[in-house]
Amino acid sequence: MIGSGYVGLVSGACFADFGHDVICVDKDKSKIDALLAGRIPIFEPGLDHLVASNVAAGRLKFTTDLAEGVKDADAVFIAVGTPSRRGDGHADLSYVYGAAKEIAGAINGFTVIVDKSTVPVGTGDEVERIIREANPNADFAVVSNPEFLREGAAIDDFKRPDRVVIGGDDPRALEVMRQIYRPLALGRSPIIEMSRRGAELTKYAGNAFLATKITFINEIADLCEKVGADVQDVARGIGLDNRIGGKFLHAGPGYGGSCFPKDTLALLKTSQDYDAPQRIVEAVVAVNDNRKRAMGRKVIAACGGDVRGKTIAVLGLTFKPNTDDMRDSPAIAVVQTLQDAGAKVRAYDPEGMEQAKLVLDGITYCANSYEAMEGSDALVIVTEWDAFRALDLDRVKGLLSEPILVDLRNVYPREMAEKAGFSYTAVGR
């Protein structure tokens, strides 16, 4: 497993738990040193135990030596980052191609090279060309095997997936991949085989569709506010149609994270390269970008239209619960909008504050929810952590200088909040 970040570490630990021998390779010595010492560099529920148990069983190892990790491998998974490239939004594939070049000189005997990273259409072709050019005598095949892991539920997603997608046409490679994923057959998880380019596009198309669902219900939420409807009723009403489904129909401050923002941009760049415009996805990206700062303005409006000199308590900084990931989190835009308007911000997040400190300056980080509220003029819920779902509203009201609650995740029923004496603002209700 080349790369021991989120995808590489979760995938490696799960493969080891299946009974495979796994070596995770990473150039970052501090990360490998931490893993060797039993410290997990990311927050993912259950991952610490999974890693520890498989290390103890001798099935999971960590190293900075790529050649040593690759030389006897039946399959080498490339699970390195593909961040958005500065300037044009295309996926930066330098880490993927760099890994391919190094792998070329280390493989021994027939080896399956697996693109696990999220990569644009045609990346597998280039990986194959790089390896062939670097080592003309190498016996290998390149397949695409995109990941579909949700942060906060990644282990369960890996072990009980909706599907496994494998893209390639080499019979030997496909048989190796079937054996790697054979333990999932016991749970009857569908393994779908297709072309390599088809697999590459499947990942992007899937994420773009989910981003579209989120953005659609967010715009419907805005309409609900204008016409006096409740977006939660509307979402349930359409979600029970099994052609639509209820997932990703939760109105809120917009999507963020490590996947949707960069993958939608990468899909747009690919569509431009192939002269096949994706107008719907273009609109999704634009609407979502605008929405995040709009949520900051929503808070300002709830505070009477002016927050200069006021203190706002913000609960939740990560882009979703059960992760410490701050990448493109809506909270960033909300906090910055409030700061631009002259507000002071006090914030708390159960897991994300250390990462938040890297991207958000000038705010007071608090030890718990109630400390953030103390003396604040309004409370804003940005991320729906479980810890925020059962706040003592009487205590909250006593800590705030003004009983203003802005619920950007619709955690609390309006009746409950208003009965407790709050001026309550939600999304689409």
Intervals of CATH 3.40.50.720 along the chain:
6-194, 291-425
Mean pLDDT taken over the chain: 96
Whether residue 177 has pLDDT greater than 90: yes
Q: What is the pLDDT of residue 202?
A: 97
Q: What is the pLDDT of residue 187?
A: 77
* pLDDT value, residue 34: 94
* pLDDT at site 185: 80
Write down the pLDDT at residue 186.
Answer: 77
Prediction pTM value: 0.92
Q: How does pLDDT run across 121-145, given as a tens digit for each residue?
A: 999 999 999 999 999 999 999 999 9
CA angle, residues 296, 299, 305, in degrees to nearest 5 = 105
pLDDT at 49 over 90: yes
pLDDT (0 to 100) of residue 188? 84
Q: May I ask the CATH class of domain 6-194?
A: alpha beta
Condensed to tens digits (0 to 9), the pLDDT of residues 313-368 reads: 999 999 999 999 999 999 999 999 999 999 999 999 999 999 999 999 999 999 99
Helix H, strand E, coil C: the string for the chain is CECCCHHHHHHHHHHHHCCCCEEEECCCHHHHHHHHCCCCCCCCCCHHHHHHHHHHCCCEEEECCHHHHHCCCCEEEECCCCCECCCCCCECCHHHHHHHHHHHCCCCCCEEEEECCCCCCCHHHHHHHHHHHHCCCCCEEEEECCCCCCCCCHHHHHHCCCCEEEECCCHHHHHHHHHHCHHHHCCCCCEEEECHHHHHHHHHHHHHHHHHHHHHHHHHHHHHHHHCCCHHHHHHHHHCCCCCCCCCCCCCCCCCCCCHHHHHHHHHHHHHHCCCCCHHHHHHHHHHHHHHHHHHHHHHHHCCCCCCCCEEEEECCCCCCCCCCCCCCHHHHHHHHHHHCCCEEEEECCCCHHHHCCCCCCCEECCCHHHHHCCCCEEEECCCCHHHCCCCHHHHHHHCCCCEEEECCCCCCHHHHHHCCCEEECCCC
For the stretch 194-243, pLDDT in tens is 999 999 999 999 999 999 999 999 999 999 999 999 999 999 999 999 99
For the annotated catalytic residues, the residue numbers are: 259
Task: Please report the pLDDT score of residue 164 as a whole number.
Answer: 97
Determine the average pLDDT of the residues in 384-393.
Answer: 96
pLDDT(33) > 80: yes
Q: Please enumerate in sequence order all residues whose Cβ is within 8 A of that of 338, keeping only pairs 6 or more positions apart, or say none.
A: 296, 299, 300, 307, 312, 314, 345
Q: Is 247 exposed, middle or buried (0-12, 13-18, 19+ CB in 10 A)?
A: exposed
Structure confidence at residue 408 (pLDDT): 98
Q: Please compute the mean of the pLDDT values over residues 278-290 and round it to a whole number.
A: 98
Q: Domain 291-425 belongs to what topology?
A: Rossmann fold (3.40.50)
Residue 288, pLDDT score: 98
The tens digit of pLDDT for each residue in 244-280 reads 999 999 999 999 998 999 999 999 999 999 999 999 9
82-91, 284-293, 295-304: which has the minimum mean pLDDT?
A: 82-91
pLDDT digits (tens, 9 = 90+) for 52-92: 999 999 999 999 999 999 999 999 999 999 988 876 778 89
pLDDT over 90, % of the chain: 96
* pLDDT number for residue 74: 97
